[in-house]
Structure 1
Amino acid sequence: MSLRERKKAKTRRTIQEQALRLIAAQGYEATTVEQIAEASEVSPSTFFRYFPTKEDVIIQDDYDPMLEAALRRQPPGPAPLTAIRNAFRAAFTEISDEELAQIFVRTKLTLSVPALRVRTVEGMFATIDLLTRAVAERTGRDPRGFAVQVLVGAVIGAVLPCIKVWVEHDGARPLPELVDEALGFLEAGLPV
């Protein structure tokens, strides 16, 4: 990354870290954009250049493009579901333990604040669209095709209980392990 890109990434990270710190101390509703901006040593207008809303400071991340890139790097041989599972494995290796800890805090917050849950659902649909396009390109199918959309929807559906279990059990099992197990279960045809 260029110096400018590194500075932008650092500012973005600082804003998110300060937002999480303030929210942990005083609650989501009581924390204002102005407080987050002041703690981050940026102006409110700078805050809004990085995050359009207060919800976005919690919801937004760079992990969908990371997952998409990992999927596009998969060799052409494996079936789409196997390629997606391998892409998740690869993407998780790019996330540091520190980042995963922050994801845990953000996810826990997201599950506890109704406005954030609504925004998370919007984000899931965006993730489905992104992965649907990548799978369609990989398979030579139409991204609007029902089968491709169902496959990606099933993957996201399998990931959701992983996130829930991860948070409800305070991270006792690592998220990458839970996701891999769930996708393996999906690959095996969901034997119950």
Structure 2
Amino acid sequence: MGLRERKKQRTRAELQRHALRLFRDHGYAATTVDDIAAAAEVSRSTFFRYFPTKEDVVLFDDVDPAMERVAAGLVPGTPLLEAVRTIVREGFGSLDDEARALEEVRMELARSVPEIAAILRERNSFGVEQIAGMVSRAVGRPADDPDVVLFAGVICGTRLAAVARVHADGTRSYVDELDRMLAHLAAGIPLADAPITRPGDPARSPA
């Protein structure tokens, strides 16, 4: 990444941090783009150069670069699921306390704001494709390999399950819960082999 792109990335991340602080303190609906621009000391037009909409400031993932740095340092031969857990733990662990707290705010907004949740549902297939691309490069198999696509789908599903658990509990950390879910996945899911006690139920809800 060149110097210009790094500066753009820093500006985008700083805009998001100001936005997430405002969303946390005043609520998503009550915070305007003008509020965010004023807090970041930039113009409204500058905000829109980096984020097309207010929703996009939540959807931007500033943790990706940290995770990419961890991924680049993994030892060849590391089992794939162990590598995913390491990337999640160390990627989030490299953030400062406020950045981790704001990431929790971002995940809660992604779950609780209907318009953001709708965009995430629309982009879900892209999430699978993105993870499949990273997995394919890591293991040297095509991105459309059935095993690669299945693994990517399982990881996406695990993330959704972690979000659901955090929402149901109200006190859990998303990062900690995701790590627990991945550990559970690595150990195997006994429920997959459990006998069906009410055989009619799966047929009535194939989705």
Q: Return the TM-score normalized by structure 1.
A: 0.81
5+ residue gaps, structure 1: none
Deviation at 1:103, TM superposition (A): 1.1
Does the Cα contact within 8 Å between 1:89 and 1:176 map onto a contact in 2?
A: yes
**What's the RMSD between the two structures over aligned residues?**
2.8
Number of aligned pairs? 191
1:154-173 alignment, distance < 5 Å = 154-170=154-170, 172-173=171-172
Residue 174 of structure 1 corresponds to: 173
Q: Using the TM superposition, name which of 27-36 and 138-147 deviates more.
A: 27-36
Specify which structure has the bigger relative contact order, considering alpha-carbon pairs within 8 angstroms and separated by 6 or more residues: 1
Taking structure 1 as reference, are residues 23 and 140 closer, same or farther at Cα in structure 2, changes over 3 Å only? closer
Taking structure 1 as reference, are residues 68 and 126 closer, same or farther at Cα in structure 2, changes over 3 Å only? farther
1:119-130 alignment, distance < 5 Å = 119-122=119-122, 124-130=124-130
Percent of aligned pairs with the same residue? 39
Does the Cα contact within 8 Å between 1:133 and 1:143 map onto a contact in 2?
A: yes
Taking structure 1 as reference, are residues 168 and 118 closer, same or farther at Cα in structure 2, changes over 3 Å only? same
Deviation at 1:6, TM superposition (A): 7.3
Q: What whole-Å deviation, never above 9, does each CA across 1:108-137 have from its counterpart, x for those lacking one?
A: 222221111122335554443332122112
Does the Cα contact within 8 Å between 1:76 and 1:138 map onto a contact in 2?
A: no
Instruction: Establish whether residue 70 from structure 1 lines up as the match of residue 76 from structure 2.
Output: no
Does the Cα contact within 8 Å between 1:68 and 1:131 map onto a contact in 2?
A: no
5+ residue gaps, structure 2: 192-207
Work out the CA distance in 1 between the residues paired with 2:124 and 2:95: 19
Residue 108 of structure 1 corresponds to: 108
Work out the CA distance in 1 between the residues paired with 2:130 and 2:65: 8
